[in-house]
Structure formats: structure tokens, C-alpha cells
Structure 1
Amino acid sequence: MPADEPTITLWRPVGPNELALIRASGMRSFPPRLPEQPIFYPVLSEDYATKIARDWNMPASGEGHVTRFEVKRSFLAHYEVQEAGGRDHREYWIPAADLDAFNAAIVGIIEVIRSFP
């Protein structure tokens, strides 16, 4: 891979359990999906990720976190951006079976940029 391969910045809202697994990976990958989670959905805006972490993850588990990371543009070219309820709610739908390849396309580390409460 060329060192200057273009990337796209994505965000993912996570709860405490998923964050613990991300930390266990050295902040390099997202954990496998559970059987009831057929899709991994990174989002295209920090605002949308913040809304999910604050309004859904935090009430459900007592805390919510926003992660930020870079993914190779060439990998994401195989997927269409989906709108989940409006123009401001855009995300990729990565099938659970493709998550290992997605993780391999992450450039650098996954950062936690915001936490709730």
C-alpha cells in the first residue's frame, strides 16, 4: 500500500463493552459482530455519532463514546453510503462477514474523541 493512499475519516458510536474490546485490540480494530448484528455501521459525521452515543448508547449502558478513525478510500469504494432517516444520518453498511477486511483497511489507530456522561 502506498503511504499516501487516500483515506476517509469515519466515526462510530460505541458503548462500554465495545470500547473495552477495541482497547483490547490496541485501538486497531472493531470486534466481531454478535449473531443479532449482521451489519457494522460506521457513520460519516461526528455530529451523527455524537447523537447516537449520547442519546442511545448512554441511556442503554450508562456511557457512550464517539470513536474516530481513517479507512482506505479504495476499500470503501465497494460500499454505498446509506441514509438512515435523513441527509444528516449517513453511514456505511458493512456486512459482518466483511468486518475483518474493514479492520485491515483502517489506517492508524481508533481514537476516542468524546465520552458521555
Structure 2
Amino acid sequence: MSIEPETVTLWRPVGPQELELIEQSDMKVFPPRLPEQPIFYPVLTEDYAIKIARDWNVKASGSGFVTRFDVLKSFLDNYDVQKAGGRAHLEYWIPAEEMNSFNDAIVGRIEVTKQFP
């Protein structure tokens, strides 16, 4: 009997261009960060991801999507949860240069849970 590794479910709001890159990976990895994006910030709640996708991504690109995925807890244990504003705005800050390691820690596939508008 094998023991499943412990995972943490996270969410990530994305725009249409980022979603297209995720789809090109067969929904397995997030794309590398752009030079002006030194941090990748997955969030801890779907409500927070919805707020960002609906209020920011739609304004910036016409549509927003919420993704959900599981990450190895052992990987996330290397990072502190950051508070970005209010108590409900909790996220991890993953340095861009650690995206390959982050993607390697994703268990299963990335799925889209919400779309706006």
C-alpha cells in the first residue's frame, strides 16, 4: 500500500494569454515569469482568486480565469504565507527563478474552476 504525498490546494487567477500557455502544457505547468514579474503568487483561497480574476484580469485583458491545483506540502514548507492587504488576501511568493521547482511540485493537473465574464 503506497502512501500518497501530502498536498495543498492552491488557486491562481490568470488572464487569457497565461491560460493559453497552461493549456499548451496539457494543464501541467505554469509558464515562466516575464522579466517584469519577479514573483509568482498562487493564492490560498478560491474567493481571493475570484476577486483578482474578476476585478483585475477582466479589466486588463477582457477575461479572467481561476485555476485550482495541488502542490506538494513539502515544497511549500520552504515558503511563508504572505498577507497581501487584508486578512483574506493570503498567498505564497515564489521567486521567478524557482518556477521549474514549483511546477515539479504540482501533483496532477491544473484545472479551470471559474471564468469571467
Superposition TM-score tier, normalisation by shorter sequence: over 0.9
Are residues 1:104 and 2:112 paired?
no
Give the match's secondary structure for 1:35: coil
- Deviations along 1:68-96, whole A, 9 cap, x unmatched? 00000000000000000011000000000
Unaligned runs of 5+ in 2: none
Hey, what does 1:47 align to over in structure 2? 47
Give the match's secondary structure for 1:29: coil
Hey, what does 2:82 align to over in structure 1? 82
Provide the rounded CA distance (Å) in 1 between the counterparts of 2:20 and 2:9.
22
- Deviations along 1:53-78, whole A, 9 cap, x unmatched? 00000111000000000000000000
TM-score normalised to the size of structure 2?
A: 0.98
Provide the rounded CA distance (Å) in 1 between the counterparts of 2:3 and 2:114.
28
Hey, what does 1:34 align to over in structure 2? 34
Stretches of 4+ aligned residues off by more than 3 angstroms: none
Hey, what does 2:17 align to over in structure 1? 17
In the TM superposition, what is the alpha-carbon distance from 1:3 to its structure 2 partner? 5.0
Provide the rounded CA distance (Å) in 1 between the counterparts of 2:3 and 2:113.
25
What percent identity do the matched residue pairs reach? Answer: 67
Provide the rounded CA distance (Å) in 2 between the counterparts of 1:87 and 1:107.
27
What do you get for the CA RMSD once the two structures are aligned? Answer: 0.8
